[in-house]
Amino acid sequence: MHYSVLQILKNGLTGNKGWKPVWRNPEPKKSYDVVIIGGGGHGLSTAYYLAKTHGIRNIAVLEKGYLGGGNVGRNTTIVRANYLQDGNLEFYSHSLKLWENLEQELNYNVMLSQRGCLMLAHNDGQYDAMAWRGNSNLATGDDAVLMGREDVRKLVPFLNFDDARFPIRGGLLQRTGGTARHDAVAWGYARGADMRGVDLIQNCEVKGFRIEGGKIKGVETSRGYIGAGKVGMSVAGRTSQVAEMAGLRLPIESHVLQAFVTEAVKPVIDNVISFGMGHFYISQSDKGGLVFGGDIDGYNSYSQRGNLPMVEHVAEAAMTLMPMVGKSRMLRSWGGIMDMSMDGSPIIDKTPVAGLYLNGGWCYGGFKATPAAGAAFAHLMATGKKADWATKYNLNRFETGHVIDDEGTGARPNLH
Amino acid sequence: MMRAPALVQICIENGNMRIECPHCGDRDHREFEYLGSAKLLERPNGGDAAAYHDYVYLRKNPTGENTELWQHVMGCSAWLHIVRNVTTHEITEVKLARDLKEVAR
Amino acid sequence: MSRLPSGGLIDRDVSIPFTFDGQTYTAHPGDTLASALLANGVRLMGRSFKYHRPRGVLTAGSEEPNALMEIGVGADRIPNTRATTQEVFNGMVAQSQNRFPKLQADMLAVNDLLSPFLGAGFYYKTFMWPKKFWEAVYEPIIRRAAGLGRLSGHADQSIYEKAWAYCDVLVVGGGPAGLMAALTAAKGGAKVILADEDFVIGGRLNSEQTVVDGKHSQQWAVDVATQLEAMPNVRVMSRTTVTGAYDGGTYGAVERVADHVEDAQGAPTQIFWRIVAKHTILAAGATERPIAFPDNDRPGIMLASAVRTYAHRFGVAAGQRVAVFTNNDDGWRTARDALAAGVTVTALIDTRTDVQPDVDCPTFTGAAVIGTGGRLGIERLSVRTSDGSVQQINADCLAVSGGWNPSLHLTGHMGGKPTWRDDIAAFVPTVGAIPNLVVAGAANGNFSTLGALKEGMVAAKAALKNLGLKQVRPKMPNADDAQDAISPYWHVPDVKGRAWLDFQNDVTVKDIAAAHRENFRSVEHMKRYTTLGMATDQGKLSNMGALAVMAELTGQSIPETGTTIFRPPYTPVQMGTLGAGGAGKGFAPERFTSSHDWAVSRGAAMIEVGLWHRASWFPLNGETHWRQSCDREVDMVRRAVGVCDVSTLGKIDIQGPDAGVFLDRIYTNMFSTLKVGKVRYGLMLREDGMVLDDGTTARMGENHFVMTTTTGAAGPVMSHLEFCAQCLWPELDVKMISVTEQWAQVAVAGPKSRELLAEVIDDVSNESFPFMGCGETSIAGVNGRLFRISFSGELAYELAVPSRYGEALMDELVKRAEAKGGGAYGMEALNVLRIEKGFLTHAEMDGRVTAADLGMSGMMSKKKDFIGKVSSQREGLINPMREQLVGLKPVGPVRQILGGSIMVNVDAEPTRKNMQGHVTSVCYSPTLNGMIALAFVKGGHTRIGQTIRAVDLLRNLDTLVEIVSPQFHDPAGEKLRG
C-alpha cells in the first residue's frame, strides 16, 4: 500500500484499522533463482535492488531471527562519506547519493537527517591528515569543510576549548553527513522487496550448503532444503561461520562494538561529532537521546554485550570533550558483533564456489553502506560484474597486497 | 503452591575476562592488550607468500573456544596464550606463550 | 495536607523547605520529593513524552515513568530525576519538565487531540512530501518538541569518583532476602558487601504493615542493618544501585554520596564502583505492574504497592477516597491498610470471580475499571460489574495491582533469557544466567516475607559452601508466609479508548494492535515500531503488559512470544559518574620531559604530541609570530648550534648474547654486524610488509644495544619486540626493557656542536666519535651516553643522561650555545630541519607505505629473513606506480603549498580518478628561502624533475610544483660527516 497524506488522514479518521501488513509471512518455496542469507539491512537492500533494478522476482531472503535484527538494528545510525582511501571514497560517495533519495525511492521515511558530521583534529599532523581526507572527498564529488579552531568553536561552542585533554586544533565537517532512523531503513527495504514479490522468510536458519561440482545448488535450512540458482551471504557478525559451511576461511575476525544512548533531553547537540583522540562519537536523536559509541572492546567476541572498560572510556571521553553532558544519564548500552576484516574494509565478491557470493567484513561501516552495498551486491549477483562504485572490495586483495587500509593499522582488526 | 526450583548452583571456578597472569595473579582484563589468534605463534619462517597470506590474514574465527594471545601491558609485559570461549568469555587456560613455544620445540 | 497523623520513617520534628515550580513546600527528613509533594496535596507532577498528558506519580521507586523533574539550578541542574527516589534537602529547587509554558496548561497537549494521526510508527509513513521538507520543516519541529528535561548547557562542575571493591559475597538488595543473605554470609566469615539502591535499608519491609521475628518489619530491618554495619567483614552500602553485571564477577554500581544534601562539602556527588565478587546473591525484589484500562494514566492512579509505601513509610495518604483495582490478593491488603489509616475506600474492584474479599468496603468481583474522569487528576471511575452494568465510583486515588514482576534485570545482562512461571504469571531468572550468581526472594518469584528470608539464607549458605567457609545457621525469624494468589489480567478487554502500557512514551494497547496489524509481531519489532520499553524505565512497567497483549493477538503464549533483552544499566547512570576522572585533563595521562618546567620558564610555546608535551618554539624578545622564532631557530642550527630536548623518543635497552641476531630479524637491515661503538639507522616492518617504524640503534657493547623509536611508536614497537622475543623466538637469549622515562636525551646540532660539546665532554674528536659513533662518556661530570647522529642533516649529536639531570643538562647546553650564537630550538624548527633533509615522521610512515615507497628498498637485506620480508614482495606492494616519497618545490607564481593537498597532473581536473598522491609534510625553509614539501606521488621516483600540481580544494590553492629528491639540503651528507 502506498503511503500518502490521504492515507494518513483516511486511516486516522477510521481508527487506523485499514493499514496493511508491511510484509507478508510467506512459506518458503522449493527453490528460488536467488537466495540471500541474512535479513539485515544489507540482505534486504540486496533483495530490493535485485528485484527493482535487475528485474529478478524469484528471490528469498532467509533470516535466522527477525528482519532487521542484525547490525542495522544495533548501530549509532551515522551516515557519512568522508573516507580516505581509494575504493572507500567512491563507494561511500555513491552510498550517500542513494541515501539522499531513499525516502522517495522507498516511500518510507527513513528520517535521513543531514545534520553534518564533524571530525575533530587535535594537532597539526592530524589537521594535515584531515585536509588530505577533505581534499579527497571534494575530489570525489562529496562535500568537506576544513575548520580552524575558531570555526569549530562557532559551530559547537559547548565543547571544552579550555582544558580538554588533547586541545581542539580544528576539524573537518561534512555537511551532508548525518544520521538516519536505523530500523526504518531495514523496514523500508523489506517493504519494498516484499512489494516486488521477494519472499522474506523469518525464523529460518541456514544450516548448510549443497554444493555439487564446485557449484552451489541450494541451502539446508531449519525449515528444510531450499534450492537456489545463486546464493548471497550477507550475514555480518556470522560471516565466518556461514562461509565455513562452504569450506571457506576468511580474513575476518568477529568483535563486539558497544553503543549507548542516554535518557531523552531537550536538543543540545546538532551535529554528529567525532573525537578521534578519544575514540568517541556522539549525536542526538530526534527523540532527544544522546547516541554515542567508541571503539570495539578489543577482543574476539560473539556475545553481543560489552564490558566496563569501554563503557567507562567513552564516558570519560565525553566528559573531557563536552562536560555539559555530565548530568545526562546513560539509559541503555548494547553490543553488536562486527565482521572485522583484516584491513578494515569490506568484501563484496564472488567466492571460489560458483554461484556463491560474499558480502561481509564491514567492520563498523556497514550501516552507512546499506544502500550502496545492497545495490553493488545485487549488481554482482545479477550481472557477474563488479559495480562501478565497488570494484576494489575483492576477496583476493590480501593475497595480492591491494589492501584498503583507511586506518593504516595493518592486519590488526582490533586496531581498525 | 508451586515453589521455586532449588537455588543452589554449582559455583564455576573460572575467570570470565579476569585473567590469571602466571606472574601477577588475577587481574581485570583492562590491564591486558589483545593481539589475535594464537596462530600468530606459528610464523612460517622461510615460508612462501601463500604461507604468509594464511598466517597474516586468514582466521578460523570460531564461536566457541578460541586460542589467542594477550599481553600484560600494564603489568609484567608477558605474552600470554589464553584459551577463551568467545561467546561466554570464559577463560579456561592461561599460559606463558614463551613456555608453550619452548615445550613445543 | 495529606500527611497522616502518625507513622512512617520520617522525622516529623524537622521541617525542610523546598520549591516545586516556584512554589515553596515543606518536607521532613526521610521524605522523597514524591512523598513530600503528595503530602502537600500535589498530584500533577509531569507530562508524558508524546501526547503531553498530565501525569502524577505512579510508583514509589526507581521505575517511576511519570514524575521526572529537573532538580537544582545553574550548572547543577539535573534533568529527568525521579521524584520517587530523590531525597528532599533544605532549599531544594525542583521544576517540572517537558511542558510549555507551565505544567497545568501545556500547549503541546494539542498532540493528544491529534493522536489519531500520531499512533505507533506514524512518522515512517509521512513527512516525506515535498522531498526537502523532512529536514527543512518537519524534523526541526519534531526535534524542538522532543526530549524530556533540559541539560543546563554548562560544563558539569560536580565531583565524581571511581573505585574498586572486592568481596566474597555481593548481596544486591536489602529487603528480607538480602538482609538474611548478608547476615548469614557475614556470620560465616565471608567478606560481604550489601548494596541497596534506597537510602533506607529494608526494601518492602519498610512499606508494609507486617511482623518479622515478633517486631514490626521496619524495626527488624533497622536491627539487622545495624548488626551488619557493626561487623568488620561487612560493608553496607545504601544509596548504591548495582547497575550492571559484567564478566568476571564484576559489577558496576553507583553510590549516590551527596545527591541528597544541600552542600556536598567537597565530597563527590556520586561514586562509580566496580565490585568484583566471588559470589553474588541477587535479592532485588520485584516491581508491581499496572493493568491497562482506558485513561489509566490520570494523576492519582498509582500502583497499589506505592499507595502502601506512601502510607507506611512516609505517613502520606495518596488520597482521601481511595479505590482499588486488582487481580490478586495484594489489592485487598491495600484496601485494608487504607481503611486502617482512616482513609475512605470507595471501592475494591477485583477482576477475579471466585474470590471473597474480606474487606470492609464496597467490593466488586469479576469486575473491571473501564474508564476514569477528572481534570488534571482522577475524580471518578467507571466500573463494569460482573453482570455487565456500569457503575460510577468517586475516588481521588485509584490503586492498581496487576501482580508482580521479579527484578531479574541483572540476570539478563549477559544475554540470559528468563523462565516463565504460570503460577505467578511472571518471568523469573534462569538459573546460571550469570556465573556465580544466585537469585533469592521476590526477585526469584518468591513473594512471601518468610519465603524471601529463607531463600536469602539458603543462597548465602550455598555461597559459604562454595567459598569453603563454615556453614552457619542463623536463627530463622518468623514472618508472614502468604503467597498471594493471582489470576493473570493484563488489560481490560472490549472497551473503547486508549489504555496505556508505556506511560512515558505514550504507548497504548491500540499501538500494540497496530504493530500486530502491520506485521511487527516479533517482540523486537513491536518494541522498535512502537517505542515501547524505550523510556527511562527501560520497560520495567510496560514490557510484560505489551507482551501479553501481543501474545493474545497472535494466539501464542507469553513465553512463546518472548522477551526483550534487558541491557545495562539497571537504572540510568549519570555520564559524569561513568566518566569520573575523565573531565579536563584527566582523560589520558600527560607526559612531561624533564626540561618541561625549564622550557616553560623560558617562555616556550608548548604543544602536545601524543601524550607528551613538548616545546614548540622559544620566542625571543620582539618575536610575535611563531614563524619568526622557527626561522631563527632553523637558521641558528644551520649556522651555529641548537639544542633540543628529544627525550620523548622511545628508548629500548636490549641485551643478551642473541641481541644482534634478534635485531637482524626485527629490522630489514643487518645489525649483528654492527661494531661496538657504532650506531645504525634501521627500518622495521610489520609482518604485512608495511613500515612499522624507523630509528637508530646503537651497539653499546657486544651484547648490549640501545634502540630509539619514534615518539608515537614507542609503545607499539616495545610490544612488538616483546612479541617477537616471547612468542616467535623464545630460544633467543635476549631481554629488553623500555628506558624512555629513565634517560633524558638532548640533541645538539649545527656546525658548532662539536665545539660546544668539547666544553662539557673531554673527547668529542671525530676520531673518538665519528659519524654514527657512540659510547659512554662523562658529560659535565655525569655518566652518560653520546651518539653522533643527526635528524637535521648537520653535524650533530645526541646526549643521554639519567632523567634527573635532564633539566640541568638542557640549561647548561643552551647557555653555552647562546654564547656561540646558538640556543634552544623546538618542535617547529626540528620539523623544518628534518623536512629539509627528507627525514621521516609518521606523517610519511602512516602504516600504508612500504620501504620501497620511501626509497629504502636498498635497506631490505637479501641475506636474511626479517619480519615482513615475504609479504612486502606481494604484487600490490611492488607495483612501480605506487605512490612514492618525493620532495616538492613550487615553480609557478603560487609559492605556497598546503599540507594535505592532493597531487594532480598539470592539465588534469582535480578529481578522484586523477589523483596522483598527496602532500604529507610542508614547511617554509629558511635555508632554501621558500616553501618545500614532502609528498607521495604515483611512480614518483621516476618522475623527478617533472612538474605537477599540489591542489587544495578545501582552501582553494593550486600550486605548480617540481618533483625533486626529498633530500633538499646537503644531499651528499657532507655536513653530517664533517
Mean pLDDT of C816-826: 98
Question: For residue C819, is pLDDT > 50?
Answer: yes
- Which residue of C160, C525, C898 is in closest CB contact with A131? C898
Biggest CA pair distance of chain C: 115
- Whether C847 and A407 lie within 8 Å, measured CB to CB: yes
Mean pLDDT of C361-370: 97
Nearest to C479 by CA among C205, C818, C156: C205
Q: To the nearest whole number, what is the mean pLDDT of chain A?
A: 96
C137 touches chain A (CB under 8 A): no
- Which residue of B14, B47, B97 is in closest CB contact with C435? B14
Domains delineated in chain C: 1-155 (3.10.20.440), 160-286+406-467 (3.50.50.60), 290-402 (3.50.50.60), 494-565 (1.10.10.1100), 594-648+742-835 (3.30.1360.120), 650-738 (3.30.70.1400), 836-977 (3.30.1360.120)
A168 and A53 in one domain?
no
Give the chain B residue nearest C280 (alpha carbons): B11
Taking the CA of residue C919 and the nearest CA in chain A, the distance in Å comes to 8
Question: For residue B103, is pLDDT > 80?
Answer: no
Last residue in a domain, options A341, A362, A377: A341
Taking the CA of residue B105 and the nearest CA in chain A, the distance in Å comes to 27
Mean pLDDT of C607-629: 95
SS3 call for A173: strand
A68 and A139 in one domain?
no
Q: pLDDT per residue over C414-468, tens digit each?
A: 999 999 999 999 999 999 999 999 999 999 999 999 999 999 999 999 999 999 9
Mean pLDDT of A47-57: 97
Q: To the nearest whole number, what is the mean pLDDT of chain C?
A: 96
A156 and A207 in one domain?
no
Q: Considering the domain boundaries, does residue A411 fall inside one?
A: yes
Cα–Cα distance measured from residue C528 to residue A183, given in angstroms and rounded to the nearest whole number: 7
| Site of grid cell 550468581 | C437
The structural domain count of chain A equals 2
Taking the CA of residue A346 and the nearest CA in chain B, the distance in Å comes to 14
Last residue in a domain, options A341, A363, A382: A341
> Comparing C388 with C472, which gets the higher pLDDT?
C388
Q: What is the DSSP letter of C678?
A: B
Question: For residue B9, is pLDDT > 50?
Answer: no
Question: What is the Cα Rg of chain C in Å?
Answer: 37
A306 and A188 in one domain?
no
C414 touches chain A (CB under 8 A): yes
Least reliable range by pLDDT among A79-83, A274-278, C756-760: A274-278
Which of C76, C78, C117, C124 to mutate to test binding with chain A, by most A CBs within 10 Å of its CB?
C124
All partners of chain A with 3 or more CB pairs under 8 angstroms: B, C
- Whether C436 and B17 lie within 8 Å, measured CB to CB: no
Give the chain A residue nearest C936 (alpha carbons): A132
A247 and A148 in one domain?
no
Taking the CA of residue A122 and the nearest CA in chain C, the distance in Å comes to 9
| C893 burial via Cβ count (<10 Å: 0-12, 13-18, 19+) | exposed
Q: pLDDT per residue over C749-776, tens digit each?
A: 999 999 999 999 999 999 999 999 999 9
Give the chain A residue nearest C952 (alpha carbons): A135
Structural domain harbouring A55: 24-77+183-251+343-415
pLDDT tier at C972, thresholds 50, 70, 90: very high
Taking the CA of residue B92 and the nearest CA in chain C, the distance in Å comes to 12
A332 and A281 in one domain?
yes
Q: Considering the domain boundaries, does residue A102 fall inside one?
A: no
Q: pLDDT per residue over C870-905, tens digit each?
A: 999 999 999 999 999 999 999 999 999 999 999 999
pLDDT at position B102: 65
Strand partners of residue C279: C169
Mean pLDDT of C3-24: 97
C100 touches chain A (CB under 8 A): no
C165 touches chain B (CB under 8 A): no
Cα–Cα distance measured from residue C131 to residue C603, given in angstroms and rounded to the nearest whole number: 57
pLDDT tier at C565, thresholds 50, 70, 90: confident
C566 touches chain A (CB under 8 A): no
Q: Considering the domain boundaries, does residue A89 fall inside one?
A: no
C433 touches chain B (CB under 8 A): no
A100 touches chain C (CB under 8 A): no
Give the chain A residue nearest C259 (alpha carbons): A327
A293 and A268 in one domain?
yes
- Whether B30 and A303 lie within 8 Å, measured CB to CB: no
Question: For residue B14, is pLDDT > 90?
Answer: no
B29 touches chain A (CB under 8 A): yes
Looking at domain B15-104, what is its CATH homologous superfamily? Folate-binding superfamily (3.30.2270.10)
pLDDT tier at B2, thresholds 50, 70, 90: very low
Mean pLDDT of C713-742: 97
Question: For residue B8, is pLDDT > 70?
Answer: no
Question: For residue C267, is pLDDT > 70?
Answer: yes
Q: pLDDT per residue over A29-41, tens digit each?
A: 999 999 999 999 9
A206 and A306 in one domain?
no
Mean pLDDT of C148-166: 97
- Whether C722 and B12 lie within 8 Å, measured CB to CB: no
The CATH number given to whatever domain includes residue A360 is: 3.50.50.60
- Whether C688 and A411 lie within 8 Å, measured CB to CB: yes
Q: CA C28, C30, C35: angle at the middle one, nearest 5?
A: 75
A396 and A263 in one domain?
no
C49 touches chain A (CB under 8 A): yes
Give residues 30 to 69 of B whose Cβ lies within 8 Å of A: 30, 33-37, 49-50, 53, 56-63, 66, 68
User: At C587, which amino acid appears?
Assistant: F
Q: Considering the domain boundaries, does residue A165 fall inside one?
A: yes
Lateral strand order in the sheet of C397-401: C301-303, C397-401, C321-326, C344-350, C363-365
Q: Are C957 and C901 in contact (CB under 8 A)?
A: yes
SS3 call for C479: strand
SS3 call for A400: helix
Question: For residue A281, is pLDDT > 60?
Answer: yes
Question: For residue C690, is pLDDT > 70?
Answer: yes
Question: For residue A137, is pLDDT > 50?
Answer: yes
pLDDT at position A203: 97
A166 and A119 in one domain?
yes
Count of A-C CB contacts under 8 Å = 368
Taking the CA of residue A217 and the nearest CA in chain C, the distance in Å comes to 31
pLDDT at position C471: 83
Taking the CA of residue C212 and the nearest CA in chain B, the distance in Å comes to 21
Q: pLDDT per residue over C51-82, tens digit each?
A: 999 999 999 999 999 999 999 999 999 999 99
Dump the DSSP string for C276-344: EEEEEEE---EEE---B-BTTTSTTEEEHHHHHHHHHTT-B-S-SEEEEEESBTHHHHHHHHHHHTT-E
Q: Where are the domains of chain B?
A: 15-104
Q: Are A121 and A169 in contact (CB under 8 A)?
A: yes
Cα–Cα distance measured from residue C326 to residue C355, given in angstroms and rounded to the nearest whole number: 12
Q: How far, CA to CA in Å, does C322 sit from each of A279, C304, C364, C863?
A: 54, 10, 14, 93
Q: pLDDT per residue over B82-96, tens digit each?
A: 999 999 999 999 999
A301 touches chain B (CB under 8 A): yes
Cα–Cα distance measured from residue A68 to residue A371, given in angstroms and rounded to the nearest whole number: 14
Cβ contacts of A90 on chain C, cutoff 8 Å: 912
pLDDT at position B3: 38
ipTM of the modeled complex: 0.97
Give residues 316 to 345 of C whose Cβ lies within 8 Å of A: none
- Whether A298 and B58 lie within 8 Å, measured CB to CB: no
Cβ contacts of B66 on chain A, cutoff 8 Å: 300
A165 and A259 in one domain?
yes
Q: Considering the domain boundaries, does residue A40 fall inside one?
A: yes
pLDDT tier at C127, thresholds 50, 70, 90: confident
Query: Residue C547: how many CB atoms within 10 A of its CB?
Result: 26
- Which residue of B15, B40, B78 is in closest CB contact with C248? B15
Cβ contacts of C573 on chain A, cutoff 8 Å: 329-330
- Whether B88 and A303 lie within 8 Å, measured CB to CB: yes
Cα–Cα distance measured from residue C122 to residue A12, given in angstroms and rounded to the nearest whole number: 10
Give the chain B residue nearest A308 (alpha carbons): B30
What angle do the packed helices A366-383 and A88-100 form, to 10 degrees?
Answer: 100
pLDDT tier at C474, thresholds 50, 70, 90: confident
Q: pLDDT per residue over B15-54, tens digit each?
A: 589 999 999 999 999 999 999 999 999 999 989 999 999 9
pLDDT at position B6: 38
Give the chain B residue nearest A250 (alpha carbons): B58
pLDDT at position C483: 77
Q: Are A130 and A146 in contact (CB under 8 A)?
A: yes
